[in-house]
Structure 1
Amino acid sequence: MPVWQWLLDAAGVLLVLAVLYGLGLIVRRRLLSRHGGTFELSYRVRHAHVGRGWLLGLGRYSGESLEWFRYFSLWPRPKRVLQRSEVTYTGRREPEGPEQISLYPEHVVISCRTPSGPVELAMSPASLMGFQSWLESGPPGTDWTRGPR
């Protein structure tokens, strides 16, 4: 078989794999959002360089936790899970420098405190309102006068 046929076959296989990957992302997104409560949520994984280390993703409320899924992954489980009782909202700011390119347009960056350290998330102002409401609506019997554990 000539070399050009091998190259054509290889290009065809790569095209089929790219289409399957795209379809897999679409199906996964549909499965994650079928019960509602999903929104665009970026998560900052590295804080070493100013404005860098952001990963785009989806957030989903699941009872007492907020699950974060990487956007371009086929893995069905959340990459990070934040428990409502362990998260304290500390503030918000506008994206600065390279963050403006890395994040979705019009998203704001929020800072939270968790037992494992500070966490930065980026979401739309409407999603931020929902996030704050979710944090404040703890289960009955929650003592709001007590500080975080």
Structure 2
Amino acid sequence: MEWWGVLEGLLLVLVLAALPLVLFALRRRWLARSGSLVECSLRISTRSSRSGTPGAGWALGVARYSGDELQWFRVFSLAFRPRLRVTRRGTTVLQTRPPEAAEVPMLYRDQRIVVLADSEGRQIDLAMETSSITGLLSWLEAAPPETRYPV
């Protein structure tokens, strides 16, 4: 009956190895149930601490719209709270551009970069597909009338 102990040990290792995968799947399902998800990479910087390295600082993630805020979640995380919240009020689009050569390996395929400035003085770089950028711009333009948004 010594093999029972070995079998129990192997089963325990298998369950512990599969647990993070199950948690990732449950988290992704929960996020998708709360609103549609958009593949969206993120780079945040303040104006004073902008890195000179073009490909540095990108994190893969997903974003969803929830009322007047865009919520961003890391892909490889078990957290159920967004890592970043961007509110419509006070957020402006500075530019859209294609990724530089050093940025391409860090991003999903066929993404363009949208550079935002928020009311807190942060510069937020979002990398999204063209159709997702159209959705983001529409969402920003649909802000209440008192919000100033340069078109």
- Pick from 47, 53, 71 the counterpart of residue 75 of structure 2: 71
2:131 maps to a residue whose letter is A
SS of alignment partner, residue 81 of structure 2: coil
Q: Tell me what 2:57 maps to.
A: 53
Deviations 1:25-73 (A, max 9, x none): 1110110111333211111146422211100111010100000001110
1:118 aligns with 2:117: no
> Unaligned regions of 5+ residues in structure 1, if any?
none
- The size of the alignment, in residue pairs, is 138
Give the number of the structure with larger relative contact order, counting CA–CA contacts within 8 Å between residues 6 or more apart: 2
**What CA distance in whole angstroms lies between the structure 2 residues aligned with 1:101 and 1:110?**
17
Q: What RMSD over aligned residues (CA atoms) do the two structures have, in Å?
A: 2.3
Paired residues of 2:61 and 2:74 also in contact (CA < 8 A): yes
Deviations 1:75-115 (A, max 9, x none): 10000000100210111111112311110000111101112
> Unaligned regions of 5+ residues in structure 2, if any?
none
TM-score, with structure 1 as normaliser: 0.82
Structure-2 change in CA distance of 1:53 and 1:97 (3 Å):
same
TM-score, with structure 2 as normaliser: 0.81
Q: How does 1:82-101 map to 2 (within 5 A)?
A: 82-101=86-105
